[in-house]
Amino acid sequence: MVILLLGSIATVTESSLQRQLIVATTGARVAVAPQRRLRFRSSSRRFCSGILARRPMPVWQNVNLKQKAIFEIIQREDVRDLPYYLNDEELDFFVRGIAMGPHAKTYLPQLVEREKRPIYVARGFAPPSYSRVVKLRFYGPDPLLRDAGPGWQAGEEGELMEYIMGWRWIYAYWDGPLVDEVLGAADTTWWPNIAADDWTWEQLKFCTPPYWVPEDGRPWREHGEELPLVSVLKGKGKGKGKDAGMP
């Protein structure tokens, strides 16, 4: 029996310890597939991905810095302290974030008063303790269901209702840098500094994320002449076709 280990493109050499572990546990022969190597085109900007680093950087796919601050607040409290009701600066930060998202004209105008705790973090429905949801308390009827037809329970006028909002809808329209295009952003705590009125992106160090993003006139993306292209080259083993490149 031969077990074929397909090496990751992020790995330069296969660990001998891994081979020993498989042999010790299964008694099988181990054949290691040829490793793929990466070729990078030169660029004036640093490449954000941790493909060549010892500890890969997590990819916050299209999540901006203010959304990461929202995520930090959501995950901060211990599960035993949930639900956690937002107040003061945190509540203001969430409200501004909803105003910069698709629900600015739906649930936001119908939120209950501050003293009735309009936004809070509750435990999610998935088993892990880190599963959290953001709940809004608003006055009915439900703005999305009021015209949906008689089969939908939209609630009565003035009825106290709740809605679970995905945290990525908050600050979804904020025109600011993504986590993956700022050096060290994934390991940086952005709340509460990013909520300050005088906060600016101009002192940040930028890089090219490991996926395509449009320039769209963003000033922090104008310094890169082009996005680095990553080409995956097949090894010396049996391959299919010619060398293929992927942007």
Residues ≥6 apart with Cβ < 8 Å to 228: 40, 41, 42, 43, 45, 47, 208
Tens digits of residue pLDDT in 191-242 = 999 999 999 999 999 998 888 888 778 888 875 444 444 444 444 445 444 4
Q: How far apart are CA 210 and CA 212, in angstroms?
A: 7
Predicted TM-score (pTM) of this structure: 0.69
Give me the phi and psi of 244, to 5 degrees please.
-115, 140
Quick one: tokens of 169?
A: 């809808």
Whether the CB-CB separation of 47 and 207 falls below 8 Å is answered with: yes
Tens digits of residue pLDDT in 160-196 = 999 999 999 999 999 999 999 999 999 999 999 999 9
pLDDT of residue 239: 46
Of residues 199, 204, 150, 157, the one with CA closest to residue 174: 199
The answer to whether the Cα torsion of 238, 240, 244, 247 is positive or negative is negative
Give me the phi and psi of 111, to 5 degrees please.
-60, 150
